Amino acid sequence: MLQVPFLRENKERVLNGLRKRNWKEEDLQIIDRILELDSSRRKLLQEVEQLQARLKQLSGEIGALYKQGKREEAEASKAEVSSLKEQMKTPEEQLKKVKAELEQLLLEVPNVPNDLVPFGKSEDDNEIYKAWPDELPELGENALPHWELAKVYQLFDLELGTKLTGAGFPVYLGQGARLERALINYFLDRAHRAGYLEVSPPLLVNADTARATGQLPDKEGQMYFVERDGFYLIPTAEVPVTNIYRGAILEEEDFPIKLTGYTPCFRREAGSYGAHVRGLNRVHQFDKVEIVRIEHPDRSYAALDEMLEHVSSLLDELELPYRIVRLCGGDLGFTSALTYDFEVYSAAQKRWLEVSSVSNFETYQSNRLQLRFKDGKKKRLAHTLNGSALALARIVAALLENNQTENGIELPKVLHSYTGFERIEKP
């Protein structure tokens, strides 16, 4: 959520940001409406508080008068109090209304994109930030997509998941399950070595938590909800992990804060269909190791670069062909100021699969989180960032497809000590 004073002082910048996000000109009026509401909120607040101050003073006097036995004077003051209260009613109600509407509208304004964010409408307009250098890997004629490989090698079973739960809940089996576990451990170990503190958070969160990182109200339909207890299943570890610092007031020397966590992620993905969602390409439950950083505003973009380096090094070690794209205004997440996606090339499907998304939210999340640090005497909002390092299901898909041979599926060297086998063979 943006701060009103920021909005007031940077109106043009905010408007241009919304234009970059392809907002229609008539929808930009929301900003003027917000500023209007805020100015009447301040006016009403002053009015109400002046009356309150007078009330407070009077009731103190009444107490004193009673003590002195001056009953009649006390009664007279009481009459004044009740007329003051009558006067307060209207502005109080207006204030309540204005505040509610203001709050509502503020939730509808997304983050201001960084200057680096390109203009564009959809993922087709994303800018290639780092391209795969050589020609893309080619597989032979009889190369199989990962969902076929899964059958041949008995690595995961989607029909079985449908029996247990429903579509999009894969059951990993045998070497597939071990590969899954190996990748999680490998990613966590690498994050640990890069200085991230490992946390293992709850998988269900309350509404306050979901709101603070911006999933509510924007992505309400995307999350599974446990009605009976009012809990949401997390769509990413970002939610519980970032919320660890909700309400915190940090010292400058606390930076950088680097956290990592493995969790399953649950996404309803309503409305998805077609060939692009076959196999592991898009599922309702997948495993992911997330990295989260809380940074000094001056250092957050350097931190973002470090995170890109970290994710790149993982993909290098996994020997997967990948590219990095900078999301355009139309594809940029609601809460993000700048996002880089990592896409791995799936040679059998001949398409790029998104496996990581690394973003700087600047103060957008920390405003809702009320996550601040002491800058001298003042308190300032910190910057929050996060990125997948990495999301499992699609990595598994790419590993299986790209490394298939006559004699089985060869695994990258870095995983051997984690899996306990170097090659997936027919059972």
| Distance in Å, CB of 393 to RNA, minimum | 27
Smallest CA-to-CA distance from 129 within 341, 311, 386, 351 is with 341
Read off φ and ψ for residue 23, nearest 5 degrees. Answer: -70, 145
Q: How far apart are CA 342 and CA 356, in angstroms?
A: 5
Quote the least distance from Cβ 423 to RNA, whole Å.
35
Residue 295: HSE in the Cβ half-sphere, 13 Å Cα cutoff = 23
Closest CB to RNA among residues 76, 131? 76
Question: 123-146: buried (b, 16+ CB within 10 Å) or exposed (e) per residue?
Answer: eeebeeeeebeeeeeebeeebebb
Distance CA 167, CA 181 (A): 22
Cβ 298 to RNA, closest distance in Å? 20
Measured from the CB atom, the residue of 42 and 416 that comes closer to RNA is 42
Burial track 72-91 (b if 16+ CB lie within 10 A, e otherwise): eebeebeeebeeeeeebeeb
Report yes or no: 176 and 156 within 8 Å, Cβ to Cβ.
yes
Q: CB 40 → RNA: shortest distance, Å?
A: 11
Question: Which of 52, 313 has the CB closer to RNA?
Answer: 52
Q: How far is the CB of 222 from RNA (least distance, A)?
A: 24
User: CA-CA distance, 148 to 401, in Å (whole number)?
Assistant: 10
Give min distance, CB of 171 to RNA, in A.
Answer: 21
Half-sphere exposure of 289 (CA within 13 A, CB side): 25
Nearer Cβ to RNA (57/200): 57
Residue nearer to RNA on the CB measure, 58 or 277? 58
Q: Regarding beta strands 249-250 and 372-375, do their DSSP bridges make them parallel or antiparallel, or are they unpaired? A: parallel
Q: Based on CB atoms, which residue is closest to RNA, 88 or 155? A: 88
- Residues whose CB falls within 8 Å of the CB of residue 188, separated by 6 or more in sequence, listed in order: 198, 260, 262, 289
Q: Please report how the helices 11-20 and 29-67 are oriented relative to each other, as an axis angle in degrees rounded to 10.
A: 130
Report helix, strand or coil for 21: coil
CB of 76 to RNA, least distance (A): 11
> Is the CB of 135 or the CB of 251 nearer to RNA?
251
322 is written with which tokens? 């990948």
Least separation in angstroms between residue 425's CB and RNA is: 34
Choice between 52 and 405, CB closer to RNA = 52
CB of 137 to RNA, least distance (A): 45
Q: Where are the alpha helices (DSSP H) in 165-278?
A: 174-193, 207-212, 238-243
Q: Where do contacts with RNA occur on this chain (CB under 7 A)?
A: 4, 42, 45-46, 49-50, 52-53, 55-60, 62-63, 66, 78, 81-82, 85, 249, 372, 377, 379
CB nearer RNA, residue 81 or residue 203: 81
